[in-house]
């Protein structure tokens, strides 16, 4: 006879009460004679030998081993039924079998009580795909005017002045619960336009001008790294931003987070869009953080975000004209002695259809040329070299765009 015993739980009793079904932690079942058991009460625990020949009473307080064999996320609950998502499949369960039901939260199945129990915060973080210590995975920057501010942005003076005024009014309302300035606070701003036209730069400059804490959220990273937990991360994001008296949340590549919904959309897209809308709507307008969203593809953003009360202020970014390029180049080259007014004017006239990012490449390449030559400072020759390298890249990008446009026209 084996002296090795396994914990088992009385599952059910036969109709004639002579036999009892017992269940083991691995899910297997065995039939034992009721007379061999110290207790045949369903739910009670016993110790059973390997060969099933000996059954002993389990110690007082014995409990079923907690195993995460089944973990689900609550997606809907109404009346007597709830829907749990388990391994990408929906399962209907009795609502009363879920302890402290909260849509969006994760639960483990407690087999001893036949109940769905909520995971701890640490366990939820592991299931969600990031460490418990990293439950707020976005860096917060405390920015000030001396970090650059409006002086670092060329060609957008009027826009940064107006947006700064709106953001300050929002912060004023958040601090006092009213609008002392008399300006109605807005919920957020939507930046849209081609890549490289200064959307991210303007968001940072506004944060600098307003002494704000800037929380930058990269859309693709949020969706890919925390897939399945995006809704909870979004809730945590806004709750974290509420801790700061002046906070700006900047969503870069917003079309990946606030993607347009359709009948063909994946369920996770509908959930994350719905969660972000609910989070923005649920916060008191005078208390919520200011939100700036940036996208290269406004047509891919769900139209619900463009309704009043969400992103009230929209700003289109375009390729700068010559006068704007002059301001941009002047701002970018403030610390470069060789960037004389004549040099700046020439660069502005010789860079038609360039974006601010492409203009900035001139100075990156000029500095690289200076380092390679071991020169004490950037000269006009380095600037000319930087311009030529930036022009070559601009031309390559233009050729690629033309090729894509041709392919699309042929497909149409």
CATH number at residue 183: 3.40.50.300
Looking at the structure, do residues 218 and 294 belong to the same domain, yes or no? yes
Question: pTM for this one?
Answer: 0.64
* Run means of pLDDT, 10 residues per run, the chain, 412 residues: 70 82 75 86 83 82 61 86 81 89 83 79 60 56 82 78 88 70 73 92 92 89 62 81 89 91 75 82 68 94 87 90 92 92 95 93 94 94 95 89 82 75
- pLDDT for 274 equals 84
Give the separation between CA 70 and CA 87, rounded to whole angstroms: 9
CA atoms within 13 A of residue 290's CA, in its CB half-sphere: 33
Looking at the structure, do residues 310 and 281 belong to the same domain, yes or no? yes
Please state, in angstroms and as integers, the Cα–Cα distance from residue 381 to each residue in 43, 330, 352, following that order.
85, 18, 21
What is the DSSP code string of 68-123?
-S-EEEEEEEETTEEEEEETTEEEEEEGGGBSS--TT-EEEEETTTTEEEEPPHHH
Looking at the structure, do residues 326 and 216 belong to the same domain, yes or no? no
- pLDDT for 244 equals 87
Q: Choose the final residue of a domain: 268, 290, 316.
A: 316
Which domain range does residue 263 map to? 140-316
- pLDDT for 62 equals 72
Looking at the structure, do residues 245 and 201 belong to the same domain, yes or no? yes
Domain count of the fold of the chain: 4
Q: Which tokens sit at 364? A: 């990156």
Give bridge partners of residue 31 from the DSSP assignment.
Answer: 21
Q: Choose the final residue of a domain: 57, 81, 96.
A: 57
Instruction: Please indicate, yes or no, if residue 363 is contained in any of the structural domains.
Output: yes
Q: Specify whether 408 is catalytic.
A: yes
Report which of 139, 138, 164 is spatially closest to residue 149, judged by C-alpha positions.
164
Residue 376 DSSP symbol: S
Looking at the structure, do residues 312 and 219 belong to the same domain, yes or no? yes
CA 138 to chain centre: 9
Query: Catalytic pick from 41, 158, 299, 408?
Result: 408
Looking at the structure, do residues 204 and 296 belong to the same domain, yes or no? yes
- pLDDT for 133 equals 39
- pLDDT for 174 equals 76
Instruction: Please indicate, yes or no, if residue 180 is contained in any of the structural domains.
Output: yes
Instruction: Please indicate, yes or no, if residue 293 is contained in any of the structural domains.
Output: yes
* Residue pair 37/10 in contact by the 8 Å Cβ criterion: yes
Sign of the dihedral through C-alpha 176, 181, 186, 191: negative
* CATH number reported for the structural domain that contains residue 75 in this entry: 2.30.30
* Residue pair 102/74 in contact by the 8 Å Cβ criterion: yes
* Residue pair 187/311 in contact by the 8 Å Cβ criterion: yes
Please identify which residue in the block is written with the tokens 């600037």.
383
- pLDDT for 68 equals 47
CA atoms within 13 A of residue 48's CA, in its CB half-sphere: 26
Instruction: Please indicate, yes or no, if residue 130 is contained in any of the structural domains.
Output: no
- pLDDT for 125 equals 60
Taking each helix axis from N to C terminus, what angle separates 157-176 and 199-209, rounded to the nearest 10 degrees? 50
Instruction: Please indicate, yes or no, if residue 172 is contained in any of the structural domains.
Output: yes
* CATH number reported for the structural domain that contains residue 32 in this entry: 2.40.50.140
**N residues, the chain:** 412
Looking at the structure, do residues 249 and 209 belong to the same domain, yes or no? yes
Looking at the structure, do residues 370 and 401 belong to the same domain, yes or no? yes
Looking at the structure, do residues 365 and 381 belong to the same domain, yes or no? yes
Give the separation between CA 77 and CA 68, rounded to whole angstroms: 22
- pLDDT for 390 equals 93
């Amino acid at each position: 006879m084996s002296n090795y015993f396994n914990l088992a739980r009385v599952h059910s009793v036969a109709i004639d009460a002579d036999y009892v079904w017992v269940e083991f932690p691995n899910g297997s079942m065995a039939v034992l004679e009721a007379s061999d058991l110290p207790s045949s009460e369903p739910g009670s625990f016993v110790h059973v030998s390997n060969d099933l020949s000996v059954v002993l009473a389990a110690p007082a307080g014995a409990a079923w081993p907690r195993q995460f064999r089944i973990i689900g996320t609550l997606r809907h609950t109404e009346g007597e039924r709830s829907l749990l998502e388990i391994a990408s499949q929906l399962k209907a369960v009795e609502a009363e079998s879920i302890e402290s039901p909260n849509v969006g939260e994760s639960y483990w199945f407690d087999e001893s009580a036949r109940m769905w129990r909520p995971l701890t915060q640490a366990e939820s973080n592991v299931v969600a795909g990031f460490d418990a210590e990293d439950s707020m995975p976005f860096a917060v920057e405390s920015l000030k005017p001396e970090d650059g501010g409006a002086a670092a942005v060329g060609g957008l003076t009027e826009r940064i002045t107006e947006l700064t005024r709106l953001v300050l009014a929002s912060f004023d309302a958040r601090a006092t619960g009213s609008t002392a300035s008399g300006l109605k606070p807005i919920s957020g701003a939507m930046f849209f336009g081609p890549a490289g036209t200064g959307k991210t730069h303007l968001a940072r400059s506004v944060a600098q001008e307003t002494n704000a804490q800037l929380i930058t959220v990269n859309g693709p990273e949020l969706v890919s790294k925390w897939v399945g937990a995006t809704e909870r991360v979004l809730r945590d994001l806004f709750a974290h931003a509420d801790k700061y008296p002046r906070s700006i949340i900047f969503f870069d590549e917003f079309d990946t987070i606030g993607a347009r919904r359709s009948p063909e959309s994946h369920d996770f897209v509908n959930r994350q869009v719905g969660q972000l809308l609910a989070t923005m709507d649920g916060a008191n307008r005078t208390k919520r953080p200011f939100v700036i969203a940036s996208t290269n593809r406004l047509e891919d953003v769900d139209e619900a975000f463009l309704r009043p009360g969400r992103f009230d202020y929209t700003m289109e970014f375009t390729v700068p004209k010559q006068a704007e390029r002059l301001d941009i180049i002047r701002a970018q080259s403030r610390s470069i002695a060789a960037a004389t007014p004549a040099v700046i004017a020439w660069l502005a006239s010789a860079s038609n259809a360039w974006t601010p990012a492409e203009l900035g490449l001139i100075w990156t390449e000029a500095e690289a040329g200076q380092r390679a030559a071991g020169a004490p400072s950037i000269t006009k020759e380095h600037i000319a070299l930087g311009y030529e390298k930036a022009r070559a890249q601009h031309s390559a990008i233009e050729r690629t765009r033309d090729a894509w446009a041709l392919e699309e026209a042929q497909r149409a």
